[in-house]
Structure 1
């Protein structure tokens, strides 16, 4: 099986650029109820993952900072604490699953490191569950 089977394409992924403001990221993450989103640079390359924790630590560690100031802080100024490693689109399933064990999503890049989408851990688990359930149902029916 090819990992592209699980790909959620970039057009369907909530992500931000390094030049987006903290406020923009907060509002989009709230709107879509995400706790982490991919970050891309101005050339479309994946550069990391931004988490709610990163935003909270920035808020905590910046003197005289409040929500009103969030439009003045660019995402490139916020230290990131999580490193969601990407896979290449031609990677094998073993590489994908080994990363998905510890990441809610795995960013997918092409041969030029351009971000092309994500693979959600929940999609992998749901697929495995369906495969297991279908096999168990067939096994039970064959036993009768």
Structure 2
């Protein structure tokens, strides 16, 4: 199975840049009810994934930064606790499955490392469930 089958293309994905303000980040995550969002560099390469936890710990450890002044601070100031991995579009299903075990979604990049979309964990779980149910020998 080609992972492109599962791809949610970039134009359908909410993304942020390191220059996005913390206030914009919080508002987008709240509006879309996302717990994690991909961060892209200005050249379109995948920089990482910011999570609610990253923001929580950042605000906890920087008490002078509040929601009221969050528009003065950028996402580039927030350390990303987890290094969410991306896969290339030609990656194997095994590569993808290894990553969705610990990530809500996996960023997908092309052969020049440009972000082209994501694969959501739920899509991979649905596929695996259907595959197992079709193969009675897989039930052990």
TM-score (norm 1): 0.89
Distance 2:58 2:120 in 1: 27
In the TM superposition, what is the alpha-carbon distance from 1:41 to its structure 2 partner? 0.5
User: Which residue of the partner structure matches residue 142 of structure 1?
Assistant: none
User: Which residue of the partner structure matches residue 46 of structure 1?
Assistant: 46
User: Which residue of the partner structure matches residue 4 of structure 2?
Assistant: 4
User: Which residue of the partner structure matches residue 72 of structure 1?
Assistant: 72
Name the count of aligned residue pairs: 136
Q: Which structure has the bigger radius of gyration?
A: 1
User: Which residue of the partner structure matches residue 56 of structure 2?
Assistant: 56
What CA RMSD, in Å, does the superposition of the two structures yield over aligned residues? 1.2
For 1:11-50, what aligned pairs fall within 5 Å after superposition? 11-50=11-50
User: Which residue of the partner structure matches residue 97 of structure 2?
Assistant: 97
Runs of 4+ in 1 over 4 A off after TM superposition: none
What are structure 2's unaligned runs of at least 5 residues? Answer: none
Distance 2:98 2:128 in 1: 15
Distance 2:82 2:122 in 1: 19
What are structure 1's unaligned runs of at least 5 residues? Answer: 137-144
Distance 2:112 2:135 in 1: 39
In the TM superposition, what is the alpha-carbon distance from 1:132 to its structure 2 partner? 3.2
Distance 2:26 2:80 in 1: 15
Distance 2:28 2:63 in 1: 25
In the TM superposition, what is the alpha-carbon distance from 1:135 to its structure 2 partner? 5.0
Distance 2:61 2:11 in 1: 34
Distance 2:93 2:132 in 1: 17
